[in-house]
Amino acid sequence: MVVDAVQFRGDNAHALIDFDDSFKPIEAPSRISVSSFGFTVFTLEGDMFGAVGDWLIRGVKGELYPCKPDIFEATYEPV
């Protein structure tokens, strides 16, 4: 399965916001809140937190979720 993902480095908040904005309608509210130490993804299942180094993944239906780096590397490979 191919997924889109971006890694949060702590200094690239704009990349996470752009990643969300690239897939949702312009008038839809942001699904992400970012600070220098982490990010929160607002989902139907509840708020999910990601820390510096974690990946933000967009699933096949456009859903967003955080993923720890070790899990990401064990599960996915670059294409």
**Count of the separate structural domains present in the chain:** 1
57-76: per-residue pLDDT in tens?
998 888 899 999 999 999 99
Give the per-residue pLDDT at 26: 61
Q: What is the pLDDT of residue 51?
A: 97
What one-character DSSP code corresponds to residue 30? P
For residues 57 and 65, what is the distance between their CA atoms, to the nearest angstrom?
5
Angle (CA) 33-39-43 rounded to 5° is 70
Model confidence at 79, pLDDT cuts 50, 70, 90, reads: confident
Q: Which residues, 6+ apart, have CB-to-CB distance to 39 below 8 Å?
A: 8, 13, 16, 32, 33, 49, 50, 54, 56, 66
Q: What pTM value is reported for the model?
A: 0.86
DSSP 8-state class, residue 1: -
Which residues span the domain enclosing 16? Answer: 4-75
How sure is the predictor about 55, in pLDDT bands with cuts at 50, 70 and 90?
A: very high
The pLDDT value recorded for residue 25 is 60
Going by pLDDT thresholds of 50, 70 and 90, the confidence category of residue 10 is: very high
